[in-house]
Chain A
Amino acid sequence: MGTLASVLEAAGLATVALSSIRGQVVTTRPPRALHCEFPLGRPLGRPEDPALQRRVLDAAFALLDEPAGPVLVDFPEVITDEADAPLSCAIPPADPGDVHPAEAEARGLLPAWRRSNERFGRTTVGKVVDADGVPAIVGLFARIADGEGWKDVGLPGDPTKLAADIRNFYEEAALSLTDAVPGARQAESWYVTRTKAGDAVQRARVAMKDAGAGHYFWNYLLPMTQHRVPDAT
């Protein structure tokens, strides 16, 4: 971010950079930066809080009054993520039929995902498969978790992108299973620690690592801060 700001400034554009990781801005020295100690992925603070977003922009543009740079100012309000407080979502019951319980769980969440998609009009699902394709992918990760080789189950693309489709599907479905706008990482923690799919991907991640898969393939299956070694059962 800091380097990019300097490139644009050198081309004749005045720049104001919001900052999420203070040490990186100190290192890269953009001309004008407002450090906001907000959750990663939420550089303007809180969704559906236009007053806060406006305060951030006012503070950022106030840096234009500085006569020289680099300028680094800290925004006075702090917001922390809520990864330690997973969402409490009632997962709709699903008939497992002849599929893995994790796959059945994902099927049961499709109506909730559709409601979210209709309500918000955007999705981050679709790197490899669309929402209707997610349950089958959950089933494949469950097979890896249960001992099959990750190259043998027929994953239809990059495992990290498929895992992203699963996680994003669950998090978006969760938005229709709770009343309030979740705090940052609350839906993530719910997915990883409270759902069968999250458990399957976690165990598949460990199995792939143990099987010698490349670092990229197992490391990016889940957020780094959610990596755990599940209890042996």
Chain B
Amino acid sequence: MGDQQMRSSLEDLEGFSFDEAPWTTPKPLADSRVAIVTTAGLRPAGGDGADWNPGDQAMQLLPASAEGLVLAHFSPNFDRTGWIVDPNIVFPIDRLREMADEGVIGSVADVHVSFMGAQIDHTLETIRLDTGPAAARALLDDDVDLVLLTPV
């Protein structure tokens, strides 16, 4: 029951919350262009992708395919075999494509984003002020309406 122990140690960690929760009125789901934003520490294989070392608050743009993606999150404290067997467990791109084909969602974005969870600095200053807004701009440039966030 490793996760139970992990949750017990992580439930009460400090976290940053805004005084008022922001709220964007969503478009109808069937008209929405959907992107995935994950904190799994993903990056494309090779190249100059994020290293995802401890404390790294970078953001990494991802293509609309799990092919060639590497899970490089620094923490050893979670299961990785699920990702190896089926990337949809973290990056559910196939499920979104099925929903788009069925007309449940409008379309799947061409651009997706990874950050890395298990951050040491609970204020997340860089994510709040730099890389988070930069990710939002990249998604808005792709006409994204709706973001699904998946945690690791």
Q: How far is the CB of A57 from chain B (nearest CB, A)?
A: 6
Residues B1 and A21 in contact, CB atoms below 8 Å apart? no
Q: How far is the CB of A211 from chain B (nearest CB, A)?
A: 20
A interface with B by C-beta (< 8 Å) = 1-24, 27-31, 39-48, 50, 53-54, 57, 60-61, 64, 68-70, 80-81, 83-84, 116, 120-124, 126-127, 160, 163-164, 167-168, 171-172, 174-175, 181-182, 184-188, 216, 220-226
Partner of A27, one of B15, B23, B132: B15
Residues B140 and A13 in contact, CB atoms below 8 Å apart? yes
Partner of B95, one of A10, A57, A124: A57
- Are A28 and B15 CB-contacts (below 8 A) given A39-B79, A43-B150? yes
List, in ascending order, chain A residues with CB within 8 A of B47's CB.
Answer: none
CA A232 – CA B21 in complex, angstroms?
54
Total chain B interface residues with beta-carbon distance under 8 A: 80
- Are A1 and B151 CB-contacts (below 8 A) given A30-B21, A41-B79, A124-B80? yes
Residues B24 and A9 in contact, CB atoms below 8 Å apart? yes
What 1/0 mask marks residues of chain B from 2 to 24 whose CB sits below 8 Å from any chain A CB? 11111101111111111001111
Which A-chain residue is minimally distant from B84 (CB atoms)?
A: A120
List, in ascending order, chain A residues with CB within 8 A of B87's CB.
Answer: 122
